[in-house]
Amino acid sequence: MSPSLADASGALSEPRPLTPFQQAVADLQALGRTLPWSAEPMPGYTSRRPGGDVVFPDSPGYTPEQATALRAAWDRVRALSSHPDAWAPAAPGAEREG
């Protein structure tokens, strides 16, 4: 959810609704946070970095359902990214088709 902004009087306004494209990207990001780090089963490893090591546990890979959901989410983002209306801001309180 986008942060609220203060108007000239200092009162907080409602956040703007997301465009269909922005919502599709947000949905894709949310899905990505639930997926294993590797699409295929892989053994874990430790990545040594200057700020500290990052440990990646064993990855079971994506389930067929996860792979299908990810493909559908990417398809939606690609479809909306090429549609000019998807970039227009939604009117406050308006429902938009996507």
Task: Give residue 10's pLDDT.
Answer: 66
Contacts of 8 (CB under 8 A, 6+ apart): none
Per-residue pLDDT 10s for the chain (98 aa) are 455 556 666 677 778 888 888 999 999 999 999 999 999 999 999 999 999 999 999 999 999 999 999 999 999 999 998 877 766 666 665 555 55
Residue closest to 27 by CA, chosen among 67, 69, 60, 79: 69
CB crowding 37-53: b at 16 or more within 10 Å, else e: eeeeeeeeeeeeeeeee
Query: Identity (one letter) of the amino acid at 83?
Result: H
Half-sphere exposure of 25 (CA within 13 A, CB side): 10
Task: Give residue 31's pLDDT.
Answer: 98
